[in-house]
Amino acid sequence: MLETTIAGSLPKPEWLAPPNTLWAPWRLEGRALEEGKRDAVRLALHDQEQAGIDIVTDGEQTRRHFVWGFVEQLDGIDFSKLVTIGIRADRYKASAPTVTGPVRRRGPVHGDEVRWARANTVRPLKLTIPGPMTIVDTIHDGYYGSRERLAMDLAALINEEARELEALGLDVLQLDEPAFNVYMDEVRDWGVAALDRAVEGLRCRTAVHICYGYGIKANTDWKQTLGSEWRQYEQTFPALARSRIGGVSLECAGSHVPIALIGLLGDKDVLVGAIDVATDRIETPGEVAAVIREAMKHVPAARIFPCTNCGMVPLSRAVARAKLGALGAGAALVRRELGR
Ligand code: ZN
């Protein structure tokens, strides 16, 4: 009951990559880099376990960026052809590789990471993979000429990958779709269908993470333009309620999302963001508990998973660890009230 988890990422140790940076370059190379990544995963698992996080992730310690970590392993995407594009409806600029042919997996993408994480924790294990629409929005298409067709091919290969990861003992597959809060028409027309294709036939638990982005300036500026009530979820949640996806991870803490919108999710699991990643201020366990109690007014506790709003990769490790602690302690507070 009220099992805790995180959106996915944690900051990397400073010996592995420069802190407080997205797309940070690696500080090691060759065998030292491979060993450093594995050590960082063990530390990320340890920090989560210490904080009382129930469903743990690898902290995304082995990828430079949550989208690149996946697409770097695909054929049909050329990283020698980097183009600067505006992503998330031009909210910020990113250097994007070019799609030059049909997208295919070159081989397993995250198999080694899941094997390593699985061997280093006994807790339920979650892995994140970028969702089809978010990948489409973070690469430059020079081949398909249709965001939908590219997304459907990506969904098919995500599904192949997911089936292998499930066989390796992965408990929860989460697809990250921040683009779902930006392209509402595309979500309706093909975004949810692509998600459904990506999780087709899986027996492990699944979830989709939809947020308002990392706590970086481009996102906090954008949030200022969204008004006093953020109602993007109101359009997507009914469609997700009818989808195959098992759960939805959303941003609640410190946001202008009306919490009642989670009532639109039907019988889905709800990963309630109770930790704000856009501030270094550490939540108290009482504040976390208050968000959980609010969520319980709209969704039964059995379907609530206290979580972070988004990834914590841009934060310092000390702040991230303290926020993990608040999340674990806040959920424990509510469980005690419920006598569990
Ligand atoms: Zn996020």
313 within some domain: yes
Angle at which helices 232-241 and 192-199 cross, to 10°: 40
314 within some domain: yes
Q: Where are the alpha helices (DSSP H) in the chain?
A: 30-50, 68-71, 111-119, 132-136, 147-167, 184-186, 192-199, 217-224, 232-241, 285-296, 317-337
243: which 2 tokens?
């989808």
Q: Single out the residue of 166, 244, 164, 211 nearest to residue 313, CA to CA.
A: 211
Instruction: Quote the number of domains for the chain.
Output: 1
User: What is the 312 CA–ligand 1 centroid distance (Å)?
Assistant: 9
Render each residue's pLDDT in the chain as its tens digit; 340 residues: 999 999 999 999 999 999 988 889 999 999 999 999 999 999 999 999 999 999 999 999 999 988 988 999 999 999 999 999 998 888 888 889 999 999 999 999 999 999 999 999 999 999 999 999 999 999 999 999 999 999 999 999 999 999 999 999 999 999 999 999 999 999 999 999 999 999 999 999 999 999 887 777 888 888 888 888 888 888 999 999 999 999 999 998 888 889 999 999 999 999 999 999 999 999 999 999 999 999 999 999 999 999 999 999 999 999 999 999 999 999 999 999 999 7
User: What is the 311 CA–ligand 1 centroid distance (Å)?
Assistant: 6
Residue 243: give the domain boundaries: 30-337
User: What is the 215 CA–ligand 1 centroid distance (Å)?
Assistant: 9
User: What is the 174 CA–ligand 1 centroid distance (Å)?
Assistant: 11
17 within some domain: no
10 within some domain: no
User: What is the 115 CA–ligand 1 centroid distance (Å)?
Assistant: 25
Residues with CB under 5 A from ligand 1 (ion): 211, 310
Q: Indicate which CATH number applies to the domain containing 138.
A: 3.20.20.210
User: What is the 31 CA–ligand 1 centroid distance (Å)?
Assistant: 31
User: What is the 339 CA–ligand 1 centroid distance (Å)?
Assistant: 32
20 within some domain: no
Q: Single out the residue of 16, 23, 10, 17 nearest to residue 72, CA to CA.
A: 23
User: What is the 79 CA–ligand 1 centroid distance (Å)?
Assistant: 24
250 within some domain: yes
* Locus of tokens 């050590």: 39
User: What is the 66 CA–ligand 1 centroid distance (Å)?
Assistant: 10
Strands 172-176 and 140-141: unpaired
Distances (CA, A) of 272 to 78, 100, 201, 292: 37, 38, 26, 7
11 within some domain: no
Q: What Rg value do the Cα atoms of the chain yield, rounded?
A: 19
